[in-house]
Amino acid sequence: MHNHFNGLKTALLLGGIFGLLLALGAVIGGGQYIWFFALFGVAMTAYGYWNSDKIAIKAMRARPVTEQEQPAMYRIVRELSTTAGQPMPALFVSPTEAPNAFATGRNPNHAAVCCTEGILQLLDERELRGVLGHELMHVYNRDILTSSVAAAIAGVITSIAQMLVWINIFGGSDDEDRPNPLVLIAMSLLAPIAAAIIQMAISRTREYDADEDGAKLTRDPLALASALAKLQNGVAAHPLQPTPQLQNASHMMIANPFRAQDVSKLFSTHPPTEDRIERLQQMARGGV
């Protein structure tokens, strides 16, 4: 078993994005407004976290399904939830050919797992079990909270950066009270980019962890590896359009739902599929 220290990486990245927020606060008014922006960030985090299930489900136009409609999904999720000692989430299906799946919800008692019609047609039951194990571990690892915090802070940083532009244009009453204009320009341009890069890096580390922990839950890393290989080809054949709503929900999905050329590596919410498959194959060789 290989320890890639993904939890430590996530903590360091969250520290980095929060440090970027503090740096911006220090630029504006000597830091006197930092508490306002911090509270704003907390409010945005709470809203996104509390409503994460509704936002993602709505973006994918998903609907709840019964056990009679999707017996395999129910059988697999019930088994894995029981094995993990966790409550069973609500199950949804999205009416799209794009093969994908995601889990959302603020905690295991208020969670939902969604599969698209495309992924249900593409994968066999063993591969679907690997995917559902991955998604359940996102819920059990509280990844929705982590991603909500990162997204909220990144949003606050972008808002502050936009305000810096206006400060630089209109200035203050006294030149000596104004921050260095070069610093303002640099921060207003670079801070949102840096925040987005860190946010995406956090998402990628959580995907690696969900792969590893999901494989431990199912005791079948090769099933997830096989599913990821199929999903890579399936998404290429049926990509989603990167609308704002779907872009906000894309980090929750097991595979990047957009065409590869639409997303750069730095701003990708998912690690390279080849790397994920290699790690899973290493797990299988070492035993789970």
Q: How far apart are CA 220 and CA 12, in angstroms?
A: 30
User: Which of the 8 DSSP states describes residue 61?
Assistant: T
Q: For residue range 239-257, what is the model confidence (pLDDT) as tens digits?
A: 888 787 777 777 789 998 8
How many Å apart are CA 233 and CA 93, to the nearest integer? 21
| Residues found in the chain | 288
Q: Which residues pair with 101 in a beta bridge?
A: 115
pLDDT of residue 126: 98
Count of other CB atoms within 10 angstroms of residue 53: 20
Mean pLDDT of 272-282: 95
pLDDT digits (tens, 9 = 90+) for 20-69: 776 766 666 555 666 666 676 667 667 766 766 677 788 899 999 999 99
pLDDT per residue over 66-111, tens digit each?
999 999 999 999 999 999 999 999 999 999 999 999 998 878 888 9
Residue 172, both tokens: 């203050």
- 59/167: higher pLDDT: 59
Residues forming beta bridges with residue 91, ordered by sequence position? 113
Measure the CA–CA gap between 263 and 266, rounded to whole angstroms.
8
- Which of 69, 79, 117, 135 is catalytic? The answer is 135
To the nearest whole number, what is the mean pLDDT of the chain?
81
Per-residue confidence band for 1, with pLDDT thresholds at 50, 70 and 90? very low
Provide the pLDDT for residue 38. Answer: 64
> Looking at 130-134, 196-200, 216-220, which range is the least confident one?
196-200
pLDDT value at residue 176: 52
Q: Residue 9 class from Cβ within 10 Å (0-12 exposed, 13-18 middle, 19+ buried)? A: middle
DSSP string, 75-142: HHHHHHHHHHT-PPPEEEEE--SS--EEEEESSGGGEEEEEEHHHHHHS-HHHHHHHHHHHHHHHHTT
Told to judge if 135 belongs to the known catalytic residues of this protein, a careful annotator would answer yes
pLDDT tens, residue by residue, 107-122: 888 899 999 999 999 9
Instruction: Catalogue the E-assigned strands of the chain.
Output: 63-64, 90-94, 101-105, 111-116
Residue 216: band (very low, low, confident or very high) from pLDDT cuts 50, 70, 90: very high
At 164, which helix (H) or strand (E)? helix 143-170
* Residue 192, pLDDT score: 76
What pLDDT does residue 173 have?
A: 46
CB distance 255 to 231 below 8 Å: yes
